[in-house]
Amino acid sequence: MVEGLPERGKIWYNGRFLDWKDAKVHVLAHGLHYGTGVFEGIRCYATDKGSFIFRLDDHIARLYRSAELYKMTIPYTKEELKNAIKDTIRINELDACYIRPIAFYGFHHLGVNPEGCPVDCAIAVWRWGTYLGEEALEKGIRCTFSSWRRIDPNTLPVTAKATGHYLNSLLAVLDAKERGFDEAIMLDNHGYVAEGPGENIFGVKDGLIYTPAIESSILPGITRASVIELARDMGYEVLEKRVKKEELLNADEAFFTGTAAEVSAIREIDGVKIGEGKRGKITEEIQRKFFDVVNAREERYMSWLEPV
Ligand SMILES: Cc1ncc(COP(=O)(O)O)c(C=O)c1O
């Protein structure tokens, strides 16, 4: 059973702090009917040096870019929203949390054209552990290739993190769970590996690291970009390319990256062991580096951390 969210504290809603139970949306809100929202998932880490939000500017930039791709105008400046995020963390007295800002078309009329609908904005924060479980970080998870293809860039702007896009992710997750797997891996419309329903994917072969390129219909993950940079700084070669299903099955190691998933090892795909069927050495090394960085133990990457 998936655990519910803690219904306490305050939610920032259109510039005001409301009690958790009062932050409600009308049943005729445009976003509810047509999936017209854009959002982010961000993490704030409690470190020895204080609380830090990981790559806040990059997440805010992606949020506004997602809105632009859907011609939606967020009625706050980036700076205002950044400050609202920090205020929300402070007012809820959290040292570490998951942060969910969302902007969506609210209630005005019901037609596909959102003209006249307000753009409502909310920010919620809550304490959240590992997304795929502790086991995902250490032992690795069991995945399956989904029969549902990742949405195609000729259908939707796939680089936008938009609420409606997650119907595609939902189908892949439900299908994987029904068949007894921990997580799905989706292919793009051309049959190349794209990503997980909420994670980017990496493979390792003979010491070389690779990940599907933007051309494979992926969401350009901020954790993905961070891991590419960290791995290169660690001396690894990282390729962004088209990845075939078989190539991933033959990988020595594979792992997911994402704000929620952080760096999670993949130990098996459709019953085929990846490498030795456990978290690989390079995965572990990158994972360690990633956690050192987000926990403010790496001077070199402090610019990625925004103090609360
Ligand atoms: C579909 C999808 N791909 C990849 C990611 C990973 O992106 P990030 O590392 O920015 O969280 C996410 C999560 O936001 C996602 O929803």
Q: Where are the domains of the chain?
A: 10-126, 134-294
CA-based Rg of the chain, rounded to a whole angstrom? 19
- Which residue's C-alpha comes closest to atom 16 of ligand 1? 198
Residue the block writes with tokens 């350009």:
220
Q: 15-38: per-residue pLDDT in tens?
A: 999 999 999 999 999 999 999 999
- Which residue's C-alpha comes closest to atom 7 of ligand 1? 221
Residue 21 falls in the annotated catalytic set: no
State if residue 160 touches ligand 1 by the CB under 6 angstroms criterion: no
* CA 245 to the chain's CA centroid: 22
Q: Please count the other Cβ atoms lying within 10 Å of the Cβ belonging to residue 84.
A: 18
* Spacing, Cα 116 to ligand 1 middle (Å): 30
What value does the mean pLDDT of the chain take?
96
* Spacing, Cα 164 to ligand 1 middle (Å): 14
State if residue 212 touches ligand 1 by the CB under 6 angstroms criterion: no
Can you tell me the distance from the alpha carbon of 268 to that of 253, in angstroms, rounded to the nearest whole number?
Answer: 10
Q: 140-197: per-residue pLDDT in tens?
A: 999 999 999 999 999 999 999 999 999 999 999 999 999 999 999 999 999 999 999 9
Can you tell me the distance from the alpha carbon of 191 to that of 54, in angstroms, rounded to the nearest whole number?
Answer: 33
* Spacing, Cα 10 to ligand 1 middle (Å): 25
What whole-number percentage of the chain has pLDDT above 90?
Answer: 93
Bridge-based pairing of strands 238-241 and 193-195 is: unpaired
* CA 22 to the chain's CA centroid: 27
Can you tell me the distance from the alpha carbon of 33 to that of 171, in angstroms, rounded to the nearest whole number?
Answer: 18
Grade residue 7 by pLDDT with cuts at 50, 70 and 90.
Answer: confident
SS3 category, 168: helix
* Spacing, Cα 279 to ligand 1 middle (Å): 21
The answer to whether domain 10-126 and domain 134-294 are alike in fold is: no
> Looking at the predicted structure, is the pLDDT value of residue 130 above 80?
no
Q: 93-118: per-residue pLDDT in tens?
A: 999 999 999 999 999 999 999 999 99
The token pair at 129 is 């552990």
- Write down the pTM of the prediction: 0.96
- 204 forms beta bridges with 209, 253
The four Cα atoms 54, 221, 264, 233 give a dihedral, to 10 degrees, of -70
State if residue 41 touches ligand 1 by the CB under 6 angstroms criterion: yes
> Looking at the predicted structure, is the pLDDT value of residue 2 above 80?
no
Q: 8-18: per-residue pLDDT in tens?
A: 899 999 999 99
State if residue 199 touches ligand 1 by the CB under 6 angstroms criterion: yes
pLDDT of residue 131: 67
Which atom in ligand 1 lies closest to the alpha carbon of residue 260? Answer: 11
Q: Does domain 134-294 have CATH number 2.40.160.60?
A: no
The token pair at 47 is 């470190």
> Looking at the predicted structure, is the pLDDT value of residue 3 above 80?
no
List CB contacts of 214: < 8 A, sequence separation 6 or more.
159, 220, 240
Q: Does domain 10-126 have CATH number 1.10.3720.10?
A: no
